[in-house]
A and B are shown apart, each in its own frame.
Chain A
Amino acid sequence: MIYQGVSRYIKGKSSQTLLKVLVRIVVWGGMAFISLFPSFTTVLARIIGIEGNINAAILTGFLLIFLMLFKLLSLIEKLEQDISQVTRKESLQELTNSIKKTN
């Protein structure tokens, strides 16, 4: 996943911004790191101030899911606005075309 993001960014694909690459590295890299060094979750728990490394992992997971949901809902909202704009443009275009035909 990290390789995919980095290679797309290097190839200059417009959909892959630096921010997206960094997010991929943090999310997937973080998961890989914790898989290799599970005792790090204890350190993380101490830093955050939560009792138990499992709680820290679960809470972090919830936070990530919340952020992803927020992002998804924002994207959906943007899509809805884009659809409205296109629909409006089309209907106004029909109006201007019919006015030109009359004239």
Chain B
Amino acid sequence: METQSNKKIFVVIPAFNEGSVIQSVIQEIQHSGYKNIIVIDDGSSDNTQIKAAEIIGKFSLRHKINRGKGGATKTGIEAAKLFEADIIVTVDGDGQHDPKDIQKIITPILENKCDVVLGTRLIDPRGMPWYKILANHFGNFVTWFLFGLWVTDSQSGFRAYSRHAAEVINTKADRYEYDSEVIREIYIYKLKFKEVPIAVRYTEYSMGKIHKQGLVNGIRTVYKMIWNLIS
């Protein structure tokens, strides 16, 4: 297992119908120096798992039924814990995140400065469409209002967790509200966290995906966040 200063680092990639790009995503991460990669095919109708397995073998997992990004991420984190990961990095499966930023994301945890590092697109939102910036600000406001913690990018999937954080964070959300629920867990368990600016790569491919966090999904996410609070 590859380690940095004796720490086992795992990269978890939840993926849904990313068969056309998943191999390049995995290879890019490997070229950045990270070999422990777990892909969770979240009930894709294409060959995402098979494509991933061609490179990472048994570390390509599959959900038989689609459970959502949150559900897939949680499965990946549980799998990484099985391998005694010290640091778990979550990355989107559509190539939106630059693997060169992984080092920035994990450094504060390697230096024992915090338990969770949140990659944020909004400190330097170059390349981000204006409506996504607006939607993110709204998401940040709702997250702060419901969960009591202000972060600059509550919806970013590019994050790193220490082993301790991975053990205590216990989310129930399966879909896009997962990202906000993690913020709540950070607040409840008083985990030390840090925000690190990350690059964002909006390609025609990633922008064209219908199941991404659009307006309808955004409204659904807010509804689920409120529902989980009152039920």
Residues of A within 8 A of B (CB): 70, 73-74, 77, 80-81, 83-84, 87-88, 90-92, 94-96, 98-99, 102
> Told that A91-B40, A92-B78, A95-B79 touch, could you supply 14 new A-B pairs with CB distance under 8 A?
A70-B231, A73-B231, A74-B231, A84-B174, A87-B65, A87-B67, A88-B67, A88-B74, A88-B75, A88-B78, A90-B64, A92-B79, A92-B82, A95-B82
CB contacts (< 8 Å) of B58 on chain A: these are 95, 98-99, 102
Measured CB to CB, the closest approach of chain B to A100, in angstroms, equals 11
Q: How far is the CA of A98 from the CA of B61 in the complex (A)?
A: 11
Say yes or no for B97: interface residue by CB 8 A criterion: no
Name A's interface SS.
Answer: helix
CB contacts (< 8 Å) of B71 on chain A: these are 84, 87-88
Question: Closest residue of chain B to A78, judged by CB?
Answer: B231
Write 30 A-B pairs (CB below 8 A) sorted by A numbering.
Answer: A70-B231, A73-B227, A73-B231, A77-B227, A77-B231, A80-B174, A81-B174, A83-B65, A84-B67, A84-B71, A84-B174, A87-B63, A87-B64, A87-B67, A87-B71, A87-B75, A88-B63, A88-B75, A91-B61, A91-B63, A91-B64, A92-B61, A92-B75, A92-B82, A94-B61, A94-B62, A95-B58, A96-B82, A98-B58, A102-B58
CB contacts (< 8 Å) of B61 on chain A: these are 91-92, 94-95
Contacts of B37-90 to chain A: CB distance below 8 A:
40, 58-59, 61-65, 67, 71, 74-75, 78-79, 82
Q: How far is the CA of A77 from the CA of B61 in the complex (A)?
A: 25
Question: Closest residue of chain B to A98, judged by CB?
Answer: B58
CB contacts (< 8 Å) of A88 on chain B: these are 63, 67, 71, 74-75, 78
Which of these, A80, A91, A96, A99, contacts B75 with CB under 8 Å? Answer: A91
Q: How far is the CA of A11 from the CA of B30 in the complex (A)?
A: 61
Question: Closest residue of chain B to A90, judged by CB?
Answer: B64
CB contacts (< 8 Å) of A74 on chain B: these are 231
Say yes or no for B172: interface residue by CB 8 A criterion: yes
CB contacts (< 8 Å) of B62 on chain A: these are 91, 94
Q: How far is the CA of A81 from the CA of B171 in the complex (A)?
A: 10
Q: How far is the CA of A87 from the CA of B75 in the complex (A)?
A: 9
Q: How far is the CA of A88 from the CA of B40 in the complex (A)?
A: 10
Measured CB to CB, the closest approach of chain B to A95, in angstroms, equals 6
CB contacts (< 8 Å) of A81 on chain B: these are 172, 174
Q: How far is the CA of A84 from the CA of B69 in the complex (A)?
A: 11
Measured CB to CB, the closest approach of chain B to A101, in angstroms, equals 9
Chain B CB within 10 Å — which of A77, A91, A94 has the most? Answer: A91
CB contacts (< 8 Å) of A73 on chain B: these are 227, 231
CB contacts (< 8 Å) of B172 on chain A: these are 81
CB contacts (< 8 Å) of B79 on chain A: these are 92, 95
